[in-house]
Amino acid sequence: MGGFFGVASKEDCVFDLFFGVDYHAHLGTRRAGLAVYDAQNGFDKAIHNIENAPFRTKFDKNVGTMKGQLGIGCISDYEAQPILVRSHHGTFAITTVGRINNADEIVEEIIKSNTHFFEMQNGEINPTELVAAIINQKENFIDGIRYAQELIDGSMSMLILTPKGIYAARDKLGRTPIAIGEKEGSCCAGFESFAYLNLGYTAVRELGPGEIAVMTADGVKTLVAPGKDMKICTFLWIYYGYPSSSYEGVSVEQVRYNCGKLLARRDNAQPDIVAGIPDSGTAHAIGYANEVGIPFSRPFIKYTPTWPRSFMPTQQSKRDLIAKMKLIAVHDLIENKSLLLIDDSIVRGTQMRETTDFLYASGAKEVHIRTGCPPLLFGCKYLNFSRSKSEMELITRRVIQELEDGEVTEEVLREYADPDGEKYQKMVDKICEKLHFTSLRYHRLDDMLEAVGIDADKLCTYCWNGKE
């Protein structure tokens, strides 16, 4: 996914920038970067690989040497950024969050104007560089950003650092958020609204879908008004967002709690304890446990001291192993118990099956699994959503393939998305059997939307129902 943060200040902004970006560390595991502009010394930039060490460790030295009154930074799950560009707009730095599905077509079009691109190691063009090139096609930043918003199939939110201020532009349909904060002499913009609260900022507002604003130390000014249509990613509340964040004024922790509560209302399981798979399953489980009056407890504790979030090998099998090693079981809470475990979602199912087998081996009598969202049936095409890169990795798709014994059309998939349909129940039963659960229930889409509580038309639910 990735996240970004920017600060405009009358004083040096590097301290706020450093911690503001650090508070986005849960959104990415590959690259991170900072770019600053100082009125006397111009631009400075640093990018590091954060696959094996956390952001804070990697940027410690840079923070000692960088200075400036304007700065942007990011945690990126894909390309190296922010990038520094010199064009007819002058020198600027840019960082982005999003996904470009039609990159090849756009590259072909832009190359006609004698522009060149550097290829990354995998032969692709750095998506942030591509956004900069699109912006450079137009006379000014505003027209350039609007052009990028129109041209890109996928989604694109960005921060652009210039000597005069920072442009903040939210994706056309607001798939990802941008929240604005301010304090005396400084203004900031970030993906996560909680990132600036402990730095002394107070929340001002969130940019609307497609809104383009410019930020200086004196405040934020809208340059292009927001559009009416919105499709913000619902997964932000279920899994991606940090519990203390809120989007569109709706708290992540509260939504997860509501999801657990509504799951419980439809359930008839009678476990001894209710537990959540840390971290995002925890709030779902508390909501469930409080609703049914069955004790919430922690049969798994996450070992955090030596496992920074960013330590994530690229190989999937190693990632699974690391994820497993981070969780330590508490045998006294497992032996001879009937457990109900809630996770935010089931993607490939491998990890959940291993966890379940381990619980049986540790003496659990029953393992009931519940999820904070409906079955994931479609791969995300709007964000670099690492959990469902290939649709055929999804446990649902593998099971449907088996049940249908042939080609699976989008129409058939939509039938499987109906929680009141026969096909849905067959799929759930099959997944339950394959993963060795005692019982399995997914959250219903209508309940999940109720848990979020904002107009359903404004929420993206594509990965669950295939509706654009």
Phi, psi of 345 (to 5 degrees): -160, 170
Cα separation, 168 vs 161, in Å, equals 9
In the complex, what is the shortest distance from the CB of residue 217 to ligand SF4, in angstroms, rounded to a whole number?
A: 33
Q: Which stretches within 166-300 are classed as H helix? A: 235, 252-265, 280-292
Window of 36-44, 210-218, 282-290, 460-468 that interacts with ligand SF4 by CB under 6 A: 460-468
E strand or H helix at 158: strand 154-162
Residues numbered 217 to 246 that lie near ligand SF4 (CB under 6 A) are: 233-235
Burial (CB count <10 Å: 0-12, 13-18, 19+), residue 255: buried
Structure tokens belonging to residue 452: 């979020």
Beta carbon of residue 153, minimum distance to ligand SF4 (angstroms, whole number) = 13
Q: How far apart (Å, rounded) are the C-alpha atoms in residues 230 and 251?
A: 18
Determine the interface stretch with ligand SF4 among 43-51, 191-199, 366-374, 457-465 (rule: CB under 6 A).
457-465
Stretch that binds ligand SF4, among 5-13, 334-342, 408-416, 454-462 (CB under 6 A): 454-462
**Which 171-200 positions form the footprint of ligand SF4 (CB under 6 A)?**
175
Interface with ligand SF4 (CB under 6 A), residue total: 12
Which residue number, 195 or 373, has a Cβ lying nearer to ligand SF4?
373
Q: For ligand SF4, which is the closer residue by CB, 167 or 385?
A: 385
CB of residue 236 vs ligand SF4: minimum separation in angstroms? 7
Nearer to ligand SF4 by Cβ, of 258 and 388: the residue is 388
As a whole number of angstroms, the longest Cα–Cα distance in the chain is: 70
Reported as type and span, the H/E element at residue 224 is: strand 219-224
Supply the DSSP string of 340-378, one letter for each residue: EEEES--SSSHHHHHHHHHHHHTT-SEEEEEESSPPP-S
Question: Is 201 or 462 the residue whose CB approaches ligand SF4 more closely?
Answer: 462
Of residues 166 and 373, the one with the C-beta less far from ligand SF4:
373
| 192-to-294, 301, 339 alpha-carbon distances in Å | 33, 26, 34
Q: Which of 368, 387 has the CB closer to ligand SF4?
A: 387
**Measured from the CB of residue 192, what is the shortest distance to ligand SF4 in angstroms?**
16
Closer of 34 and 156 to ligand SF4 (Cβ): 156
> How far is the C-alpha of 12 from the C-alpha of 10, rounded, in Å?
7
Q: Which of 148, 180, 445, 460 binds ligand SF4 (CB under 6 A)?
A: 460
Between CA 395 and CA 427 the distance in angstroms is 10
**Closer to ligand SF4 by Cβ: residue 385 or 437:** 385
Alpha helices in 126-251 (DSSP H): 127-136, 141-151, 235
CA 344 to chain centre: 13
Length of the chain: 468
Residues 363 to 422 in contact with ligand SF4, rule: CB under 6 A:
380, 382-383, 385
Binding mask 334-363 for ligand SF4 (x = CB under 6 A): ------------------------------
Pick from 61, 70, 56: nearest CA to 18: 56
Please, what is the minimum distance in Å from the beta carbon of residue 298 to ligand SF4? 28
- How large is the C-alpha radius of gyration of the chain? 23
Q: Which residues pair with 329 in a beta bridge?
A: 300
Q: Which is nearer to ligand SF4, 235 or 442 (CB)?
A: 235
Q: Mark residues 135-174: x for contact with ligand SF4 by CB under 6 A, - for none.
A: ----------------------------------------
Residue whose CB is less far from ligand SF4, 266 or 389: 389
Q: Could you tell me the smallest distance in angstroms from the CB atom of residue 393 to ligand SF4? A: 15
Q: What residues have CB less than 8 Å from 318, skipping those under 6 apart?
A: none
The label of the residue with tokens 């060795």 reads: 436
How far apart are CB 195 and ligand SF4 at their closest, in Å? 20
Q: Where do contacts with ligand SF4 occur on this chain (CB under 6 A)?
A: 175, 233-235, 380, 382-383, 385, 460-463
